[in-house]
Amino acid sequence: MSAFDIDAASAVVIIDMQYDFIAGGALAVNGGDAIVGGINDCVKTFSKKDATIVFTQDWHPRGHVSFASSHPKKKPYDEISGVPGAGPVLWPDHCMAGTHGARLHRKLKVDLAHLIMRKGYHQEIDSYSAFMENDKKTSTGLAGFLKEHGISKVFLCGLAFDYCVYYSALDGVAAGFKTWVFEDLTRAVDSPAGRAASARKDLQAKGCKLVAYKR
């Protein structure tokens, strides 16, 4: 277990804690609603340490490239390749801009956020990562925002561990940030089976530290 310190050079990035990703949502992640309280505690701790707080929000147009419904003869969770900006799997329609499913959970301490960043709003490009969209060319602007605010350490939590948290962590490392994932404040889709274990191993190999927020 790696030790960590939270200070003014730290940022916590809370990934996609939206209604479509929790119980009852179009793309519910098992146990997703169980981490809301822990994330709020984390947000308050970072606020007290004068750290930067960022929430991300999936914000898709109707007919988005990531939706299985946009691809003839495809079903949610089917694998897909050869479609720039999409994959490795297709999803149910989710987090469509302006809908209830796209809203951040009402109990989250969003009043303490310095930035609420929307991603995935380009019709033909999905955006798992908080830093780079899936074409690996289009930046969300988050890295620049954090660097302009003197951030050198990034801590990640939210949904889902093996997709949006995973890719955000990889891109955080690639952007030059010291990067941690709070494992107890995230949950995985784990589809295809074994993806969560593979993501965990890859993160460690790439230099991301996997820790528990509650020590």
If 0-12 CB within 10 Å is exposed, 13-18 middle and 19+ buried, where does residue 104 land? middle
Name the catalytic one among 16, 33, 93, 171.
16
Q: Tell me the pLDDT tens digit for each residue of 4-23.
A: 999 999 999 999 999 999 99
Domain that holds residue 30: 10-211
If 0-12 CB within 10 Å is exposed, 13-18 middle and 19+ buried, where does residue 37 land? exposed
Name the catalytic one among 42, 95, 157, 164.
164
Domain count, the chain: 1
The verdict on residue 97 lying in a domain is: yes
Question: In DSSP terms, which residues pair with 132 in a beta bridge?
Answer: 139
Q: Tell me the pLDDT tens digit for each residue of 124-180.
A: 999 999 999 999 999 999 999 999 999 999 999 999 999 999 999 999 999 999 999
The verdict on residue 88 lying in a domain is: yes
The verdict on residue 102 lying in a domain is: yes
The closest alpha carbon to 154, from 174, 126, 132, 134, belongs to 174
Q: Which residue has the tokens 């009852």?
A: 24
Residue 82: the pLDDT is 86
178 is catalytic: no
Q: What is the pTM of this model?
A: 0.95
Q: Tell me the pLDDT tens digit for each residue of 21-78.
A: 999 999 999 999 999 999 999 999 999 999 999 999 999 999 999 999 999 999 999 9
**CATH code of the domain containing 139:** 3.40.50.850
The verdict on residue 2 lying in a domain is: no
The verdict on residue 3 lying in a domain is: no
The verdict on residue 5 lying in a domain is: no
78 is catalytic: no
